[in-house]
Structure 1
Amino acid sequence: MAEEPTGEDAVPQARTPAVTAGVVVLAVLALAFLAVAGYFGYTHRQAEQEAHERSEILDAARQGVVNLTTMDFERADEDVQKVLDGSAGDFRDEFEARSHDLIAVMQEAKVKSQGEVRQAAIETQNGDSADVLVAVAQKVSNAGGAAEEPRGQRMRVTMQLEDGTYKIVKAGFVQ
């Protein structure tokens, strides 16, 4: 019986067409699986980034509206500064220009208000800007005898990304 050559003397065995086709099919399936996994990984990451951005916008809008609706005559300067810190653009400029009068009126009338955001939702979003609808309940008291009964209001605030933080650039009440 003749020995089969081994090592360098061995003649490579020819693959059958069925084995070659099987290897090609497995390779194509592996590449398809990698492509699908990559696609789903990419879309999942995009969805997470968008959800995180929406969360940042809503958190900033909620805090901004609380700052706008919560004022205490005993710490009026600090409360006004909170609004200024959370705002930008024309809104900030106008609020700052009127802040001295606002503080004077608050202190004279001994105004205290407490705002609480009930709900907030992004109405529209375009790039680094978003319009947010906010339902807020506000309790107000003053020296004139205003009761602290909660008043429900709806606001629309436009949030703009500035220096890595979303800030209010426009605010108004919705009828």
Structure 2
Amino acid sequence: MKSMKSMRSMTSSRAGAVGLAAATLLTTALTVWLALALYDQREADQRRQDVLAAARQSALNFTSLDYRHYDRDSANVLAGATGDFKKQFAAQTGQLTDLVAENKSVSEGQVLEAGIVRSDEDSARVLVVADSKVTNTAVPQGEARTYRLQLDLVHKDGRWLTSDVEFVG
């Protein structure tokens, strides 16, 4: 017959083992949860950086056009565009080519600020403030212009593309 001391010792050992197992399980679950949360945060941060980079590039392409190589410049705008915006810009390219050539228009854009209004995994809205120096036959010395643009972007085929551009107040 086992002594009471021996039985208490065994019960205490089992309780300690169960407690250790529970603590290990809890620590493992917490570690997995934190790792997943960190992964989600990094993914969201990367998405925001990608959205801002695409919006900045799109705004820069849109505000930087030169009559001497308008075909290349308009192709850059179209390469970052999709949907109705791409269709509208492509439809106007012929007229714009003639207009910028006739006026010898050059616009040198510079993005000053960009901020995300909203975003999710598939779409985003970004406000961009850009300046450009515009020269043409009417203003050969150049004229500074400031643009406030609202860009809607969609994530398509692994890239963020501009689906709409609006000039805002």
Q: TM-score, structure 1 length as denominator?
A: 0.89
2:104 aligns with 110
1:120 aligns with 114
Q: Which amino acid aligns with 2:84?
A: D
Matching of residue 55 in structure 1 with residue 49 in structure 2? yes
Q: Which amino acid aligns with 2:30?
A: V
1:161 Cα deviation after fit: 1.2
1:3 aligns with none
Matching of residue 79 in structure 1 with residue 79 in structure 2? no
Equivalences for 1:139-154 in 2 at 5 Å?
Answer: 139-154=133-148
1:127 Cα deviation after fit: 3.6
Q: TM-score, structure 2 length as denominator?
A: 0.92
1:90 Cα deviation after fit: 0.8
Matching of residue 45 in structure 1 with residue 28 in structure 2? no
Q: Deviations over 1:115-149 (max 9, x none)?
A: 11111111012440111000111110111225434
Number of equivalenced pairs: 163
* Range that drifts further, 125-134 or 108-117: 125-134
Aligned pair partner of 1:18 in 5, 12, 15: 12
1:134 aligns with 128
Aligned-residue sequence identity (percent) comes to 31
Structure 1 segments unaligned to the other structure (5+ residues): 1-12
What is the RMSD of the two structures over their aligned residues, measured on CA atoms? 1.4
Equivalences for 1:85-96 in 2 at 5 Å?
Answer: 85-96=79-90
Q: Deviations over 1:145-169 (max 9, x none)?
A: 2543432221100001122111111
Distance 2:163 2:140 in 1: 30
CA contact (8 A) 2:58 2:77 kept: yes
2:157 aligns with 163
Q: Which amino acid aligns with 1:91?
A: F
Matching of residue 66 in structure 1 with residue 60 in structure 2? yes
